[in-house]
Structure 1
Amino acid sequence: MDTEFLPGNQLTLLNSGRAYFPALLAALAAAQREIYLESYIFANDAVGHEVASALCAAARRGVTVNVTVDGFGARNFAADFRPQLSAAGVRTLFYRPELGSLRLARHRLRRLHRKLAVIDGRVAFVGGINIVDDDNAPEDMRPRYDYAVRIEGPVLAQVHHAARRMWEIVTWVNFKRRFRIRPLHQPCCELAGTQQAAFLIRDNIRHRNDILNAYIDAIDAAEVEILIANAYFLPGIRFGRALFAAARRGVRIGILLQGKSDHPLLHHATRTLYAAALKAGIRIFEYEKSFLHAKVAVIDRDWATVGSSNIDPFSLLLAKEANLFVRDAQFAGELRASLHDAIADGAREIRAGDLATRAWPARLLSWLSYGLIRALVGIAGYGHKHWHAEAQISRRPPAP
């Protein structure tokens, strides 16, 4: 199914927490009726407390405030914030709360990874930024580099519906009758600008492949350039084939990945793909200045996406995700320029010679990591049937 782009939106690209949190806090301070906020992480740091205080202030002035966090990513939320929030009247829920078991079960890999907020049905935020300070990271990885989008206009109705629906589902699963949905506040869907946008989610029912399909459709239609920045990049066979086909027809492809990673397993597994990508003419850059957490792309300077979905099996097959897709030359151009600045200022291009000089223990570690990722996806029930990585395209590790 083709992505349905709605016209008439006003979109503001927000680069990292330094731009995102002032905009979010201003919207929370102006809230009059309702707030929905979803986050994978809600950190016990300066930003977390600032956002919590803004949510409490809204609740005290009569705003219905609904906060949903992931039970693993925000597993300390109950101790760090829930008493303060509950005392102010903020309603909070956990998506799949962790119960202390060490058993590796399928459901543990299915997380609420979305990062979004909807205020009064008039403004929304979508992106990859958790409620966490940019500098809440190891010293050599600061500051976190990421993106979000402030949204006004008709596409906001799709964001509002998704947030409301998530609240309904988690309320029902947690038997929280006192958290039942209150009368619907219709989102403001009046024209706010000139930009076309579509909001897509990934779940395990009706929207399993919506984000993946939107990416592949855009890659298949690419004529000039594909620029991807993604924190955790381990695409499946469909995504890989689309990229390689684009490279064969002469499309310029650049991929910006983490040089400093908080998930070494995925980082090492991703490096198994480098040799085949470089051979196909795909350029790979590792961002070494700080911690890259972005999940964005620009294609042919008029298509762009910003969201929470990584290009790996956990995001594309398991987690609850949300991305905004945009058809607008101005927005795509702004994101493209920002990514090129990041590459010029803090990235190192990976070349074939770099792979040839890698020691055999490093190559072995990459392939062991890749094998373990496939095993984890298999535990979730997707291993053989639904997901194969680019070893299908390049079956051997890089030559020593």
Structure 2
Amino acid sequence: MLVNFQWTESNETELLINGNEYFSRVFEAIRAAREEILIETFIIFNDEVGQQLKEVLFDAAARQVRIHVTVDGYGTAALDNDYMTALTNAGIRLHIYDPKPRLFGMRTNLFRRLHRKIVVVDGDVAFIGGINFGADHLPDKYVMGKQDYALRVRGTIVNDIREAAGALLIEHQAVQELPPTQPSSSPTGGAAVRLAVRDNTFHRNDIEKLYLEAIHAARSRVVIANAYFFPSYRLFHELRNAARRGVSVTLILQGRPDLPWARMFSSSLYSYMLQDGISIFEYTEHPLHGKIAIVDEEWSTVGSSNLDPISLSLNLEANLFVRDSRLNQRINEHLSMLIDTSCQMITAQAAAKGRWWRAPLMFVSFHALRHFPKHMGWLPAHAARMETLTPRSQKADAQRSEQNAD
């Protein structure tokens, strides 16, 4: 997917915090859809959120809206056949990215996953973030509900997001092209926005490069809230260099992790970052699933990419990068509130506990994981494919045709 995305002007942006805000805005857009709905997501669960998604998609399909839903074959492997059959029988095009059979009951497509979360409606409004379609993104209702973020955008950037979603479908021959759409209005917002995607062919480092550029140019502050933080050498050094030259660098990381091993890797870096003046806070109220950051008073990013080897070097990811002081201020106020009310500050004394055994672990894990994507490249590679499910009635017709031909 060779698409060179650039900064676009005249965009409206809205920060959506957690699933309750995200789902209501996405479902509202789907209910108003006239022509087309494009959805990419890592996971759909057949729970209260998945059922709501199914119902609004059914209603849209009944209005003859063109619908493509693309899910990851690993992340959505547990979605039951009845749910998927109901979608396809309603005329919804359901695509499975890199489906692979289980081996001895184990999923084998562990890496190079479709981790993007994109929704585009009528080429008019789009959503990008880290929120999957599941009730585990409702922290207001569930103790282990994830803290996460997305952006709702309108304006010229929507064309780029739609082009990225369409390019994935075209690349895997799920469609030949996307028909043109007619947005209902022409927003004239003040935000400059750029889409960055990560894939394993043409855009391997786009997201990381934009992070590096912003941190390298930072003058006053860098605030990053990221679920799985185990950055590349370059990103690690840029953060330390920024702190050394007087930039206030603040990290908000998992303190109540859904994956304990992820916190272990991040915490192995704490002492080294604290030595350079980086402030580290662990969010303890809910599992942190966000991928959000601000630099200085204008730059911000929200998306699906963690700052770890899997996201930065293997997965298909999508982030929006924004130059807008109002959004930057909104994010800063929210993250400052989290620090004040729901975070524990990591001190040098706390980070030093157990360092005699964690230092060797840090050295081994840091260098092993840093080279992990390269080592994965030595294994026999397979070209990721996409499977488009067909309605059960169409399958039956095809089988009867084959039997008659025989």
Does the 8 Å contact 2:232/2:370 carry over to 1? no
Q: Does 1:351 align with 2:347?
A: yes
Amino acid at match of 1:231: A
User: Counterpart of 2:270?
Assistant: 274
Amino acid at match of 1:116: I
Does the 8 Å contact 1:160/1:187 carry over to 2? no
CA distance in 2, matches of 1:121, 1:199: 15
The CA deviation at 1:190 is 3.2
Amino acid at match of 2:216: D
User: Counterpart of 2:238?
Assistant: 242
Match of 2:87 among 77, 85, 88: 85
CA distance in 1, matches of 2:316, 2:105: 22
Structure 2 matches for 1:210-221, cutoff 5 A?
210-221=206-217
Does the 8 Å contact 1:106/1:379 carry over to 2? no
CA distance in 2, matches of 1:296, 1:249: 23
Structure 2 matches for 1:190-209, cutoff 5 A?
190-209=186-205
Match of 1:76 among 75, 78, 85: 78
Amino acid at match of 2:78: N
CA distance in 1, matches of 2:355, 2:196: 42
| Higher deviation after alignment, 367-376 or 126-135 | 367-376
In the superposition, relative to structure 1, how do residues 325 and 275 fare at CA in structure 2: closer, same or farther (>3 Å)?
Answer: same
User: Counterpart of 1:322?
Assistant: 318
CA distance in 2, matches of 1:67, 1:26: 17
Does the 8 Å contact 2:216/2:238 carry over to 1? yes
The CA deviation at 1:242 is 1.1
| TM-score, length of structure 1 as denominator length | 0.87
Residue deviations 1:39-66 (CA, integer Å, cap 9, x gap)? 0011121011101111121111100110
User: Counterpart of 1:125?
Assistant: 127
Does the 8 Å contact 1:9/1:195 carry over to 2? yes
Residues matched between the structures, number: 375
Match of 1:24 among 23, 26, 36: 26
Q: Does 1:292 align with 2:288?
A: yes
Question: SS in structure 2 opposite 1:77?
Answer: coil
CA distance in 1, matches of 2:364, 2:261: 9
User: Counterpart of 2:148?
Assistant: 146
User: Counterpart of 1:393?
Assistant: none
The CA deviation at 1:339 is 0.8
In the superposition, relative to structure 1, how do residues 352 and 340 fare at CA in structure 2: closer, same or farther (>3 Å)?
Answer: same
CA distance in 1, matches of 2:138, 2:226: 20
CA distance in 2, matches of 1:53, 1:366: 47
Match of 1:95 among 87, 94, 97: 97
CA distance in 1, matches of 2:226, 2:137: 19
Amino acid at match of 1:308: S
In the superposition, relative to structure 1, how do residues 32 and 373 fare at CA in structure 2: closer, same or farther (>3 Å)?
Answer: same
Unaligned 5+ runs, structure 1 = 384-400
| % identity of equivalent residues | 37
User: Counterpart of 1:56?
Assistant: 58
In the superposition, relative to structure 1, how do residues 187 and 15 fare at CA in structure 2: closer, same or farther (>3 Å)?
Answer: same
Does the 8 Å contact 1:41/1:74 carry over to 2? yes
| TM-score, length of structure 2 as denominator length | 0.86
CA distance in 1, matches of 2:85, 2:121: 23
Amino acid at match of 2:72: D
Residue deviations 1:152-183 (CA, integer Å, cap 9, x gap)? 0011111010011112223x2xxx5xx55453
Does the 8 Å contact 1:155/1:189 carry over to 2? no
Does the 8 Å contact 2:233/2:370 carry over to 1? no
CA distance in 2, matches of 1:286, 1:264: 13
Match of 2:167 among 144, 165, 168: 165
User: Counterpart of 2:330?
Assistant: 334
Unaligned 5+ runs, structure 2 = 380-406
CA distance in 2, matches of 1:105, 1:134: 21
CA distance in 2, matches of 1:188, 1:229: 35
Amino acid at match of 1:13: L
Amino acid at match of 1:119: V
Does the 8 Å contact 1:269/1:367 carry over to 2? no
The CA deviation at 1:375 is 6.7
> Who wins on radius of gyration, i.e. which is larger?
2
The CA deviation at 1:117 is 0.2
Residue deviations 1:344-380 (CA, integer Å, cap 9, x gap)? 1111011110023337666666666556635743432
User: Counterpart of 2:402?
Assistant: none
Does the 8 Å contact 2:251/2:279 carry over to 1? yes
| Higher deviation after alignment, 71-80 or 20-29 | 71-80
The CA deviation at 1:10 is 0.8
Does the 8 Å contact 2:33/2:121 carry over to 1? yes
CA distance in 2, matches of 1:37, 1:297: 24
In the superposition, relative to structure 1, how do residues 378 and 349 fare at CA in structure 2: closer, same or farther (>3 Å)?
Answer: same
Q: Does 1:259 align with 2:255?
A: yes
| Higher deviation after alignment, 127-136 or 342-351 | 127-136
